[in-house]
Amino acid sequence: MRRFFLILFFIMTDLSMVKVPIAFAQSLENFPDDPPLTIPQDVHQQINDLLDTAQSYIEAGDYRNAIALYEQIATLDDENAKIYSGIGYLYTLQGNFLAASTAYQKALSIDPENPDFYYALGYSFANAGKYNDAATAYYYAIDLEPENIQHYIGLGVVLLRQQNYAKAEEVYYSITALEPNNQEAYEIMGKALIEQQRFNDAIVFLEKAINSFSDSTELRLQLASVKFYQGDITQALDLLKQAERIAPNHYKIFVKTGIILEKQNLYEDALTAYRRAIYLNPKSIEAQAGIGRILLIKKDYLGATVIYQQLLKIIPNNPDAYYGLALSYQRRGLKKEAKLALDTARQLYSDYHNSEGVQQVNNLDREL
């Protein structure tokens, strides 16, 4: 159980510090009034009309129809890299990162020296879980624009996801060489130290960093993680309280608070923290999972079923969520439903080569 809590506490190496690509906004807001020589005037006017209509869709949040119009524009001007970068950006807003990466690759085939497109491609690949491809794209962006710190930040986060901590530390030094007081560089370095379990080094580093960045929520969250691991619960909670005073609407503060309180068997207080996290971010996987665990402990099996069903809408291929759902069904005497959930969990654990998960499923299956 301790390992399970630690996984939850340290998995928050997310992409939130990486900025959404701005290539689309830069490239399409000012489409040229004068058409290229290769485009007839009437076609150019048609493109502008389509762009105006697409913009109205974008403002309404209707990205599907906006994408359809941009794809139509691409058939009229298929050598315009900016159009394809726009399509990539719209797919990014939809959360369709693989489609976005395809669009950015098309843009790069037309304009292969554009660092913004490589950055956007790296962002898309990273969010799609294709970390090797993302790192390659960020390296290209850095080669083309070596003084743009955002390229390094994107690379650093991807390297953390790859567990390539030595390279992530190199990124920290690259950023601070360009901008010594860049807070995001310190966040990357802090996470690299934590995920290597170099906790004493992390404490020294993070305490100095907090002195330099006194309003940093993220650095306090990292230091709270280390204190929690080392068993200093009081200090961990104090750091989270400090973070809450700085950023009272930062959902991760309440997720981590909930995890600590749950570990202390303070279930009602933990539920309050988790529910606050969900109020601030309804898609918080960690908070939903925490509520599910506590409801199982409190024998609120129907409530747990509802939570795990909601969780699977957010992460539909997560074996832990299916296992939790199966457990809630089993406790309610719904053997058929439990069996179906267990079969799915077993297959997913197997796909992820998680032998402990498969054994856990088999143990529960024998109880049915």
- Domain span at residue 361? 299-368
Per-residue pLDDT, 247: 96
Residue 238 lies in a domain: no
What is the chain's alpha carbon radius of gyration, rounded to the nearest angstrom? 24
Q: Which band of pLDDT confidence, cut at 50, 70 and 90, is reported for residue 293?
A: very high
Residue pair 189/176 in contact by the 8 Å Cβ criterion: no
The percentage of residues in the chain with a pLDDT greater than 90, rounded to a whole number, is: 74
247 CB neighbour count, 10 Å cutoff: 16
Asked if 90 and 83 count as a contact pair (C-beta separation under 8 A), the reply is no
Rounded Cα distance, 368 and 350, in Å? 20
Give the CATH number for residue 330.
1.25.40.10
Q: How many domains are contained in the chain?
A: 1
Query: So what's the pLDDT on residue 8?
Result: 39
In this predicted structure, what is the pLDDT of residue 119? 96
Task: Give residue-wise pLDDT tens across range 327-343.
Answer: 999 999 999 999 999 99
Lowest mean pLDDT among 11-15, 72-76, 272-276, 308-312: 11-15
Q: Is residue 328 part of a domain?
A: yes
Residue 248 forms part of a structural domain: no
**Distant-in-sequence, close-in-space partners of 44: CB < 8 Å, separation ≥ 6:** 35
Closest to 292 (Cα-Cα) out of 324, 338, 257? 324
Query: What is the structure's pLDDT at 274?
Result: 98
| Contact of 88 with 100, CB cutoff 8 Å | yes
Residue 356 CA to residue 224 CA, distance in Å, equals 29
Query: pTM, whole model, 2 decimals?
Result: 0.79
Confirm whether 308 is domain-assigned. yes
Residue 331 counted as domain residue: yes
- The 10s digit of each residue's pLDDT in 59-97 is 888 889 989 988 988 888 888 898 899 999 999 988 899
Q: Say if CB 137 and CB 122 are below 8 A apart.
A: yes
In a domain, 344, yes or no: yes
For residue 198, give the nearest of 159, 242, 166 by alpha carbon: 166
d(C-alpha 120, C-alpha 15), whole Å = 13
Nearest to 190 by CA among 224, 217, 219: 219
CA 323 – CA 367 distance, rounded (Å):
14
Give yes or no for residue 201 having a pLDDT over 80.
yes
Average pLDDT, the chain: 88
CA distance 219 to 190: 8
Q: Is residue 158 part of a domain?
A: no
Going by C-alpha positions, the residue among 112, 173, 159, 214 that lies closest to residue 18 is: 159
The answer to the question of residue 3 being in a domain is: no
pLDDT tens column, 341-364: 999 999 999 998 899 999 999 999
- Helices 183-195 and 199-212 meet at what angle, rounded to 10? 170
Q: What is the residue-wise DSSP string for 263-320? A: HTT-HHHHHHHHHHHHHH-TT-HHHHHHHHHHHHHTT-HHHHHHHHHHHHHHSTT-HH
* pLDDT tens sequence across 97-133: 999 999 999 999 999 999 999 999 999 999 998 999 9
